[in-house]
Amino acid sequence: MEKNKLLMILEKDFPIYKKDIFRQIQPILDKHFETYCTINYKNYFSGLMLDNTDKIEKIFCVVFPSEEIILKLAKQTNKNSLIFSHHPMDWNQFGSGFVPISKRSYELLKTNKISLFVLHDVLDYHPKYAPSIQLLKHLNIKNSKRLYINGEPLGVYFDLNIERLNIFEEELKRKLNLKKLQKVIFNNKIKRICVVAGGGDNIEFISAANDVGCDTYITGIVYFRGNEYAKKNNPPFIAKAKELKINLLGCSHYVTEKFSLLAMTDYFKSLDIKVDFIEDIKSIEFWNKNIEEFI
Ligand SMILES: [Zn+2]
């Protein structure tokens, strides 16, 4: 498909209406941002970030554009392809957090004619493809409502028929293929659960969950102190949960968001374009191996 045709379709189905949260993160961390990103991306921090080809023959959906994924794609013969990513950079969950694309990877993408399209906030708020919504779909939970945070539909919440948290937790681990969860538990008897996929360790988010009567809060990141921002903002989040007596269940940034990108492969298939989801197996393995130290 012609790149411009695909961009027009994406713009129609996923309209960008305001600047993305990554405008506060990417220019600080990513020192090659100015050199490689498109003018439009530098304005909105959303949409076509790297414009390296005029034709798109195949799309690769990823949660994070990790160095490993970029290397793998560069080695393949898929020229004229597009990485469709939820984030513009990788995530090191037990290290310093967001890791920008290296100069070497930016160059590899360019020489191998691989473009990069990033959809963060717009995907988070999408009525069908939002990570929180797709996570519930994977867990086979119906009858959820969207939780609005600062006017944006960032989370979802639902009532549960399983009243014991430990039973729900086992089911969660099984369905998400996780050995352990990050957790802070106050009450084993539960009724209403809020889900904010990804980085939901935020006081405003958990307060909004409390306002609609949730007693349990599922997100990707419960405990994280890997960078200065987290050192400042993560402890008050956990303190707020303690104050509100809301159980916290952390299921990893990657796992809570991957079902959205899996669902996006169906979207691209409907456009009659070749597509694959690239599983970040390392991320799950790393979580299962290292989580003990981070609970
Ligand atoms: Zn995220």
The CATH number of the domain holding residue 113 is 3.40.1390.30
> 155 and 227, same structural domain?
yes
Find the 29 Cα to ligand 1 centroid distance in Å: 16
Residue ending a domain, among 236, 251, 266, is 251
Indicate whether 286 belongs to any domain. no
> 86 and 15, same structural domain?
yes
> 210 and 134, same structural domain?
yes
pLDDT tens-digit readout, 72-104: 999 987 789 999 999 999 998 888 899 999 999
Tokens representing residue 49 in the block: 């970030």
Q: Is the dihedral of CA 284, 286, 287, 289 positive or negative?
A: positive
Indicate whether 24 belongs to any domain. yes
> 8 and 116, same structural domain?
yes
**How do 97-99 and 152-159 pair as beta strands?**
unpaired
With a CB cutoff of 8 Å and minimum separation 6, the contacts of 76 are none
- Is 13:84 a contact under the CB 8 Å cutoff? no
Find the 48 Cα to ligand 1 centroid distance in Å: 18
Question: In 3-state terms, the chain is what percent helix, strand and coil (to 5)?
Answer: 45, 20, 35
Domain containing residue 143: 125-251
Which pLDDT score is estimated for 79? 84
Confidence of residue 293 (pLDDT cuts 50, 70, 90): low
Which pLDDT score is estimated for 80? 93
Q: Please provide residue 55's backbone torsions phi and psi, each rounded to the nearest 5 degrees.
A: -120, 145
Total count of domains within the chain: 2
Q: Of 238, 167, 165, give the one whose Cα is nearest residue 201.
A: 238
Which pLDDT score is estimated for 77? 73
Find the 133 Cα to ligand 1 centroid distance in Å: 14
Confidence of residue 294 (pLDDT cuts 50, 70, 90): low
The alpha-carbon radius of gyration of the chain (Å, integer) is: 19
pLDDT tens-digit readout, 134-155: 999 999 999 999 999 888 998 9
What is the pLDDT averaged over residues 267-291?
Answer: 91
Indicate whether 293 belongs to any domain. no
> 275 and 161, same structural domain?
no
> 62 and 105, same structural domain?
yes
Find the 20 Cα to ligand 1 centroid distance in Å: 12
pLDDT tens-digit readout, 29-52: 999 999 999 999 999 999 999 999
> 119 and 222, same structural domain?
no
> 129 and 119, same structural domain?
no
Find the 120 Cα to ligand 1 centroid distance in Å: 7
What is the pLDDT averaged over residues 247-265?
Answer: 97
Percent of the chain exceeding pLDDT 70 equals: 99
Find the 205 Cα to ligand 1 centroid distance in Å: 14
Q: Cα–chain-centroid distance for residue 90?
A: 11
Find the 295 Cα to ligand 1 centroid distance in Å: 20
pTM of the model: 0.94
> 81 and 164, same structural domain?
no
- Is 244:213 a contact under the CB 8 Å cutoff? no
Q: How far apart are CA 243 and CA 224, in angstroms?
A: 19
> 75 and 219, same structural domain?
no
What number of other Cβ atoms are within 10 A of residue 57's Cβ?
14
Indicate whether 50 belongs to any domain. yes
Find the 84 Cα to ligand 1 centroid distance in Å: 14
Indicate whether 292 belongs to any domain. no
